[in-house]
Amino acid sequence: MAKTYIARSGRLAARKLGEEMLVMSGLGSTLFTLNPTATILWQAADGATPLEEIVEQRICPQFEVSAGEALRDAETLARDLAQHGILLVSHEPFAQTSSSALEPATV
């Protein structure tokens, strides 16, 4: 099964406030608050670490949930965040670009 990689969109403004992450899309001025789980995903979304590894290392230790269930939930959440332009999702690792935005390495 292909691995999933997630990266933060470079056009966003973001800051952690307490346990939640504030994220604003630069052009649309749409403000989102990410819950603690989504915040973990956002913070770990370096474009290089597979989602499965993020779930195992960052989510499972904090929540009483099986790895399989956590991965399914994380994939759903990542797709939701991608629909809002908050995360980029790919089956290839992302390459860091000069403008801090991340693009898939194969593009």
Partner 1 sequence: MSLLLELDARAQRLGVPLSAHVDLTYRCNEQCIHCYLDHEDHGEMTTVEIKRLLDEMARAGVFILTFSGGEIFLRKDLFEILEYARSLTFCIKLKTNAVLIREAQAARLREIGVESVQISIYSHRPEVHDEITKIPGSLRRSIAAIRFLKQQGLKVVMANVLMTKNMQDYNGVRALAEELGARYTLDPTIAPMMDGDRATVALNAGGAALHQLFRDESYIGDPEEFCAPPAEVSEDSLNAVPCSAGHTACYISPYGEFYPCVQFPLSCGNVRQQPFLEIWRNSAQLKEVRSIRLRDLTGCSQCVHGASCSRCPGMAFLEGNMRGPSTADCEKSFARTGIPSVNLLAKKTNPSSARLVQIQLVPAIAGTRLAGLPASA
- Chain residues that interact with partner 1, rule: CB under 8 A: 10-18, 22, 24, 26-27, 29, 31, 33, 99-100
CB of 13 to partner 1, least distance (A): 3
Residue 12: CB minimum distance to partner 1, A: 7
Would you call 64 helix, strand, or coil by DSSP? coil
Query: Least distance in Å: CB of 86 to partner 1?
Result: 12
Q: Which is nearer to partner 1, 66 or 98 (CB)?
A: 98
Q: Between the CA of residue 56 and those of 14, 37, 45, what are the distances in Å?
A: 25, 13, 14
Burial (Cβ within 10 Å: 0-12, 13-18, ≥19) of residue 106? exposed
